[in-house]
A and B are shown apart, each in its own frame.
Chain A
Amino acid sequence: MNEELYPKVYLYRRIVQSKLFIDANFSENIDLDCISEQASFSKFHFIRIFKKIYGKAPHKYLSYVRLEKAKELLKEDISVTEVCFAVGFDSLSSFTGLFKRSVGQTPLAYQLQQHHLKAETARAPLKFIPNCYAGRKNKSK
């Protein structure tokens, strides 16, 4: 591929690097200082550019990644407390509060709903497949 460099390529690479740093280290005790260090920008400049590119300030993006990972883990047989600490929160109450504000239900209610959905998908998978494919699947048995 003939790669032409676009404007501000080095700036983009540094911001993307910091985003990937959050994606890889969200479960650790990371803060804005370690994240902005990845991009080698001053904190203020870093927050401004990060927000412009990703639509969220870095600390909000970190919370978003933690909550998305928590949603994934809650689908498994892992307790809410274990999930809270596994994704990098250090307090169960702040995790529960943030989760409820973002998802609209408590982590436990979400987990019960997801476990029910998983059991139902395993019990009657054709219920979750559009008619034409479900029909073909039945015919090909």
Chain B
Amino acid sequence: MVSRMSHVSVYVLDQGSAYDFYVKKLGFQVRTDAPMGPKMRWLTVSPPDQPDLEITLLPIVEGMIFTKETAEQMRKLVKSGTFGFGVFECKDIYATYEELKAKGVEFSKAPKKEFYGIEALFKDDSGNWFSLGQKK
């Protein structure tokens, strides 16, 4: 029986820039930062209240996962905002929205009351988008 999820991957264009976004802007905590060769490192972060879920910030580079062609295709797709990777929750969406906006995070939807709760949408530095939610 599958009991829990420990790691989830988000493909990023540049790990250094992704580190700044997820750690310095979103306030996530680094779980693992291990060297994996000249073009990549194993970099995982977690939301502060959820240390047992590691979000792996995987670079889109030729080698371990991608060929040269698929890496190029993937980079284009990520940049163009094709992928929505999930939903982050927060205790107070208005305060979180104002704080992230002040830090330069790009929102495509300001907090809005929906039938399922209050929701906003933002993009990371690569182009991946996420929903930001506050439950009713």
Contact = CB atoms under 8 A, between A and B. Distances in A.
Contacts, number: 62
Given A3-B110, A55-B91, A136-B64, A129 B36 contact: yes
A130 interface: yes
Interface in A107-141: 121-122, 125, 128-130, 133, 136-137, 140
B35 A125 contact: yes
Interface string B89-111: 00110110011001000011111
B52 interface: no
Given A1-B108, A128-B42, A121 B94 contact: no
A55 B48 CA distance: 14
Contacts of B42: 125, 128-129, 133
Nearest to B56: A133
Interface of A: 1-4, 6, 8-9, 12-13, 15-17, 19-20, 53-55, 121-122, 125, 128-130, 133, 136-137, 140
